Amino acid sequence: MKAIHIDRFVSNVTDLKPSTIPNPFSKSSQDIHIKITHAAVTHVDLLYAQGLHQNNRRHVQPPFILGTEYAGVVTHSPPSSSFPPGTRVFGGGLGAYAEQICVSEPTIRRVPSQWTNAEACAVGASGAVSYGALISVAQLKAGETVVVLGASGGLGVVAVQIAKAVGARVIAVVGGKEKAEVVRGVGADEVVDYRQEGWEARVKALGNGGEGVDVVYDGIGAVESGIRCLRYRGRLVVVGFAARGGKMENLKVNKILLKGVAVFGYRFGEDSRRDPQRTKDVWDGFMNLVEDGKIRPVIYKEDYWGLEAVSRALEDVRERKAWGRAVIRVCEVEEDTTEQKARL
């Protein structure tokens, strides 16, 4: 099969090209084989390709197949599986930039009937990550005001919708007019552009009559700015460092004390390894919102056809052209039933 195979980390993602490698094989008789139809392009993939993610120290070392989120169609599964051949599924795990993947059942979910495979792929695990951070960790409640930093990105556009779905007021922080339109389109009540000087003061002014916001969702690595936006005894959850280019922030901890704020970290993968029940609850909570029609996938407008397009898509994410999720169309789907084809 064709795949983006990493035998050594690259410094330039435009160097990535598909190569032909052996098809994936079952490690257990319970494994499920999937033909991948779509793969998402995430910030994590960008870091994995370059060896810049914390997981590259231990869990993710070459050789590996790049790509962490996909959707596809089951081609082979054990008779006991709840995903018989032909089932449309989406999942997370290394190996998404390939024509096929072989995985264990708990890592995949059925594509909700109202979504295409591309849409399921665009949401992928981002929904569960954002739900876990906002609801399980930061305990966001109806009537509170939350600011989402990195609101136009893959995680951010879902965070905005989750916060709206639980009855919070949402301030989205983005860079640029096109991205402002995107977050307004998914329900943000207020939009602030971080390119304008004094944006933190603008956010603070919008929360609790000028006292500041109740919760900060930080997907970019701007804790000091986030604390400036918070009210006294507010909560901030650190989700990612998309703006830091690998250089971590040095925070003066007196900022935490002076405002009496709580700063949490949330690491979805590690939480899943250490506390699978909590992650299951997070997924269930998020999928309830999906079933209630509260989550609309946001796919970046550019068409990325075939695994050859992975490098261009990663570069567009690196250059911050993309919003929502860039999605690769991995294959043309011909052999499925009319109903499935209509949803792919």
- Applying CB under 6 A, the residues found at the interface with ligand NAP are 42-44, 129, 150, 152-156, 174-175, 179, 194, 219-220, 239-243, 266-269, 317, 320
Q: How far is the CB of 180 from ligand NAP (least distance, A)?
A: 9
What's the length of the chain? Answer: 344
Return the number of the residue (212 or 219) whose C-beta is nearest ligand NAP: 219
Return the number of the residue (145 or 279) whose C-beta is nearest ligand NAP: 279
Return the number of the residue (227 or 317) whose C-beta is nearest ligand NAP: 317
Q: How far is the CB of 159 from ligand NAP (least distance, A)?
A: 9
Q: How far is the CB of 37 from ligand NAP (least distance, A)?
A: 20
Q: How far is the CB of 274 from ligand NAP (least distance, A)?
A: 13
* Burial (CB count within 10 angstroms: exposed 0-12, middle 13-18, buried 19+), residue 57: exposed
- Give the whole-angstrom CA distance, residue 96 versus residue 107: 13
- Give the whole-angstrom CA distance, residue 52 versus residue 47: 5
Q: How far is the CB of 305 from ligand NAP (least distance, A)?
A: 20
Range list of H helices, 140-176:
154-165
Return the number of the residue (69 or 214) whose C-beta is nearest ligand NAP: 69
Q: Is residue 331 classed as helix, strand or coil in its secondary structure?
A: coil
- Give the whole-angstrom CA distance, residue 79 versus residue 103: 15
Contacts of 226 (CB under 8 A, 6+ apart): 147, 149, 216, 218, 236
Q: How far is the CB of 257 from ligand NAP (least distance, A)?
A: 25
Return the number of the residue (49 or 333) whose C-beta is nearest ligand NAP: 49
Return the number of the residue (46 or 261) whose C-beta is nearest ligand NAP: 46
Quote the Cα angle for 306-309-310, to 5°. Answer: 105
Contacts of 279 (CB under 8 A, 6+ apart): 128, 132, 268, 271, 272
Q: How far is the CB of 327 from ligand NAP (least distance, A)?
A: 12
Q: How far is the CB of 188 from ligand NAP (least distance, A)?
A: 12
Quote the Cα angle for 191-193-199, to 5°. Answer: 100
The token duo for 276 is 């699978």
Return the number of the residue (76 or 318) whose C-beta is nearest ligand NAP: 318
Q: How far is the CB of 239 from ligand NAP (least distance, A)?
A: 5
User: What radius of gyration do the chain's Cα atoms show?
Assistant: 20
- Give the whole-angstrom CA distance, residue 167 versus residue 134: 12
Asked whether the bond before 276 is cis by omega within 30 degrees of 0, the reply is: no
Q: Is residue 67 classed as helix, strand or coil in its secondary structure?
A: coil
- Give the whole-angstrom CA distance, residue 72 versus residue 60: 23
DSSP 210: G
Unique residue bearing structure tokens 């490690």:
27
Return the number of the residue (165 or 317) whose C-beta is nearest ligand NAP: 317
Return the number of the residue (96 or 333) whose C-beta is nearest ligand NAP: 96
